Structure 1
Amino acid sequence: MFRLPRFFNVVRRTLCTSAEDMGKKGTFFYAVRKGFRPGVYNTWDECKQQVDKFPSAVFKKFATEEDALAFVRSQAKAPFTGRSEGCDPEVLPPRNIPSSSKVVLLGSKRTHEDFEDEGESSVKRVKLIEPPKPTASAVSSDGFTYMGDAVVVYTDGCCSANGKIGARAGIGVYWGRDHPLNVAERLPGRQTNQRAELQAACKALEQAIEMNFKRVVLYTDSKFTINGC
């Protein structure tokens, strides 16, 4: 499942006031591109709740809803590079909202060793299909977020000094704020960024199988992982 959209719900509210009238009356739309729940909000207080204490939050005020929505949906695609930042052991909300997503239909379980080879010839382990509309996602009382009948999860991997002696890599799996299944741990074996990204995705899918989920929307910022599936 995969990167998942700059995905989350864009909050759309129907307003009867025209753009011209809104400007005159001082009504604004607050667009959150990167925050706890990306979307468009009508008040600063609502916007602040989504960006306050969120790492590298991206938000802006607009006079029209159209411009605000365009800002939320326009995420520049940066070139892919292996990251070299240190790994924060704390599990935080996803730092990036994906631009596209896929649904994983879970099948037979495989071991992590199946992904040891970082070549592009790895055997495909999942079938990818187009997901339901992202606006259908919602947090359930069980603590999971769903998109239709598929559960949503975010994964990430990082490696400091990637490709060098003394490299240290870690993986992260994020199911929701303070969720008991969240993972932040050291990567076993070879310490590389690509292995960390793959291991994080494998960990999330294994957890989903253990929880008897049949469909999963998995968000990752790793092009290597996406292309490998």
Structure 2
Amino acid sequence: MSYGYFYNHGLPSIIRQIRRIKRFREPKFYAVAVGRRIGIYRSWPSCKVQIENISNAKFRRFDTHHEAISYLEQTPNELPLPLQDQMKQIDSINSNDNDLVDDSSIVYIDGACWRNGLPDACAGIGIYWPGAPERNQSLIIDGRQTSIRAEIWAAIFAIRQAKQIGLDKITIYTDSHFVIQTATVWLYKWKRNCWLTSSGVEVKNRYDMMALDESIRQMKKIIWRPVRGHSGIPGNEEADRLANAAIANYEQQQSKSINNNNNNNENLSKD
């Protein structure tokens, strides 16, 4: 066999084999957006446990942790169907306005982001108090405009607000399974690991997570209740409306400001 034949035929084959072996050995990241427990897993077996028999499971495999996090950020949060079935009793309580109106420690939160993932994204939060509507909040968030950050800051603002008005125990209803998992499971693990993930990567949105942790520690007790998004639950619908209203109002103001500047420039050019 000539050297030229080996170079043209044998070497490319060896290179392909090496690349396949390298891809096999490189760590993979499995992002579960809808499953028993959403998050990022380092092996297929651990991922499979979270999605098996979940008919509406959403998951993907990535080569990098950053890609996996981005996928979670841009995938709408919803409860897996088995957990939704377990929430039927909670849903029946939520739909009874008389049970909620007199309870000033119950709050619904929601985050919204228009054009999520794009450079001109805009994110807002809605905080709805069924028993004290004068406390309701409709705000635009600072910093990076993403749906995940909006959900996180909706929780932070609601907790801070509760503390300011003298509440030390509240019940938070949210349709973001991500926020509930973060507040009840991941925060404690990340703190113990110096705000690094199990793979040694810095937690994305670290300072947002630290702010959430600080807010939670100011309260004696927080009960987190999952609800189904866009399913007609009055409190959740109101929080969603407030979050979207914040964005709509902000963009309307921005549009007016741009139009005024354009008119002023036209007047100056005429002068």
Structures share fold, TM-score greater than 0.5: no
- The structure in which a higher percent of residues are helix is 2
TM-score of the pair, normalised by structure 1? 0.38
- The structure in which a higher percent of residues are strand is 1
TM-score of the pair, normalised by structure 2? 0.33
Query: If you compute each CA radius of gyration, which structure gives the higher value, 1 or 2?
Result: 2
